[in-house]
Amino acid sequence: MSGPLAGKVCIVTGASRGIGKGIALQLGEAGATVYITGRGLSPSGDVKVGGTLQSTAEEIESRGGKCIPVQCDHGNDEDVNKLFERVKTEQNGRLDVLVNNAYSGVTAIAESVKAGNTFWEEEDGMWDTINKVGLRGHYIAAVHAARLMVPAKQGLIINVSSPGGLMHFATIPYCIGKSGCDRMASECAIDLRKHNIAYVSLWPGAVRTEHVLSFGKGNEDQSADDKASKMMKRMIETGETPEFAGKAVVHLAADPNIMKKSGKIVHTTWVANEHGYSDVDGRHHLNPFSIKYMLTLTGHTWLAALMPEFVRFPMWLMAVMNHHF
């Protein structure tokens, strides 16, 4: 299959559904050979929102791509080692892109937020539920990926993260985990730079994943006067499709100047604006740090209509606000 990533070998972790699936679909459509991972190839009884590795692989193949689904629990180091050994053997040591997306804490976070728990009211295992497959799993996968990429003097590693690392949001383990993902990218990028390997942290906006849509349906009976509920509803309604992050990954992987972004946080809307594309459903997504987006989200639509999108909250100010000295 031809495409901007023809001949490239990629791994996307946690690709049964959601953002991981969206990324895998776009990488396959761009011509890459895509290894996708998940805890099971077929449906599991404890999964309520659907999606399997097999169905993701079939959709990639239906679009003309090449996909290899691999059952892998990213909380199990032996599984991860076997994954990378398989890629090394089957692809003659080649790996171009690793996307760290696997995550097991979505349901636990939603339940914690709904209960309004403080960190000391959580179960003792909450940290591992959120960060064993997430933060720790990303690091272990990055180690294995680097061992394949360094000899080739090329490659790209992406952590799927979020602004949750900058603010008090959802649960404490979630915030720490996302902050760690961002710091991991910046620190690992230092060691990898001399080997021409880039490492970035990718922030999608609000994404209309299966889990998010499922949670939204469960909260339809909330009061219409609840401002937080109204904002959440607008975020979901205007949210990105999972494939929007996939388009960002494709453009990052094909960017000849990707090393300029290495060690940095990159938002999906920034990549879209840089390369001039829309979501797969044709929608343009506002930069979530723009004043226009904030006005839209809070219901001030007439003011938002007058505000140009380039007027945005300064990123340096966000850095200052999150400085702890």
Per DSSP, the residues of 12-81 read ESS-SSHHHHHHHHHHHHTT-EEEEEES-SS--TT-SS---HHHHHHHHHHTT-EEEEEE--TT-HHHHH
Question: For residues 127 and 174, is the Cβ–Cβ distance under 8 A?
Answer: no
Q: What angle do CA 164, 167, 171 make, to 5 degrees?
A: 65
CA distances from residue 302 to 17, 68, 223, 307, 311 in whole angstroms, order as listed: 36, 48, 24, 9, 16
CB atoms within 10 A of CB 135: 23
Map residue 290 onto helix, strand or coil: strand
CA 124 to chain centre: 26
The active-site residue, picked from 35, 103, 174, 199, is 174
Map residue 125 onto helix, strand or coil: coil
CA 66 to chain centre: 21
Whether 174 is catalytic is yes
Residue in 186, 147, 156 with CA at minimum distance from that of residue 255? 156
Map residue 99 onto helix, strand or coil: strand
Per DSSP, the residues of 225-273 read T-HHHHHHHHHHHTPBPHHHHHHHHHHHHH-TTGGGTTTSEEEHHHHHH
The residues assigned a catalytic role are: 174
